[in-house]
Amino acid sequence: MLGDDSRRLIKWAARKAPVAVDLKRFPSLFQLQMSDLTMVRRRAFIDNIRIARFAGSAIGDLVECGTWRGGMSAAMAWAMPGRHSVLFDSFQGLPDAKPIDGATALHWSKEVRDYENCRADEAWARVAMERVRQSDYEILKGWFADTVPRWAQMQRPIAVLRLDGDWYDSTLICLEHLWPLVSPGGVVIVDDYYTWDGCSRAVHDYLSRLSAPERVAQSRHGVAYLVRK
């Protein structure tokens, strides 16, 4: 249930919503409309949208694990209209990093913790979807260990899976439950593959366990992704 403050926030922010969407204008349009709703820098932001559109012929939902304020989920929904969006986030910030995540991650987790430890109010995710006039979405609030397996039981196909859980455990649990649901030709975007050791380790551990044929590709501006075979 949304409180009065959250409703006012959504109403205020929706005034920035674009009236019409022109795919040729999405780089400038989305930097203007979503810059306060995402931590992703402009060039990588654009790459994410382009990569998501690789899955245009794949069947399924648009799923993001780790949404923060929902800007990237909204961007994908705008770029691939007519699909159901699923937004997973604790909305409590990140859990503590573990040794498997690497020394840099441990330092960040203990000393830095910027963006309020990546915490955001759930209302912002609704703001993001409202700005792009999207109503076909669900927000699953809670830790991935609780929400992801439960949702996966429905066996809904996934066209785009974007992983932004940062750490090893968070990334692995999403892969274990959601990778099998990604349709052939679907894409998996791994936000922190080049940032945190634990994230990349989880990807390689999982793919090795399956003897999977997929390989990690890199966009022009450093976004890691895989195309499901």
Q: By the 8 A CB rule, do 51 and 187 touch?
A: yes
Q: By the 8 A CB rule, do 144 and 65 touch?
A: yes
What pLDDT score does 20 carry?
A: 42
In whole angstroms, how far apart are CA 32 and each of 18, 157, 159?
A: 10, 32, 26
Q: By the 8 A CB rule, do 78 and 132 touch?
A: yes
Average of pLDDT values for 61-73?
A: 97
What pLDDT score does 180 carry?
A: 98
Per-residue pLDDT at 74 exceeds 90: yes
Domains of the chain: residue spans and CATH: 4-227 (3.40.50.150)
Higher pLDDT, 35 or 75: 75
Beta strand extents in 114-216 (DSSP E only): 137-141, 158-163, 182-190
Per-residue pLDDT at 13 exceeds 70: no
Q: Which of 37, 118, 122, 120 is CA-nearest to residue 77? A: 37
Per-residue pLDDT at 11 exceeds 60: no
Query: Who contacts 128 (Cβ-Cβ below 8 Å, separation ≥6)?
Result: 34, 37, 69, 70, 71, 73, 74
Per-residue pLDDT at 117 exceeds 70: yes
Q: By the 8 A CB rule, do 92 and 119 touch?
A: yes
3-class state of residue 216 by DSSP: coil
> pLDDT, tens digit, for every residue of 14-32?
444 443 445 555 566 566 6
> pLDDT, tens digit, for every residue of 123-138?
999 999 999 899 999 9
Q: By the 8 A CB rule, do 188 and 179 touch?
A: yes
**Rounded Cα–Cα distance for residues 50 and 6 (Å):** 31
Band of pLDDT at residue 163, cut at 50, 70 and 90: very high
Q: Which of 12, 162, 15, 147 is CA-nearest to residue 77? A: 162
For the entire predicted model, the pTM comes to: 0.88
**Rounded Cα–Cα distance for residues 228 and 217 (Å):** 12
Average of pLDDT values for 21-48?
A: 76
What pLDDT score does 34 carry?
A: 83
**Rounded Cα–Cα distance for residues 27 and 159 (Å):** 22
Strand partners, 70: none
Token reading at 35? 């810059």
Q: By the 8 A CB rule, do 64 and 178 touch?
A: no
Per-residue pLDDT at 140 exceeds 90: yes
68-77, 97-106, 114-123: least confidently modelled range: 114-123
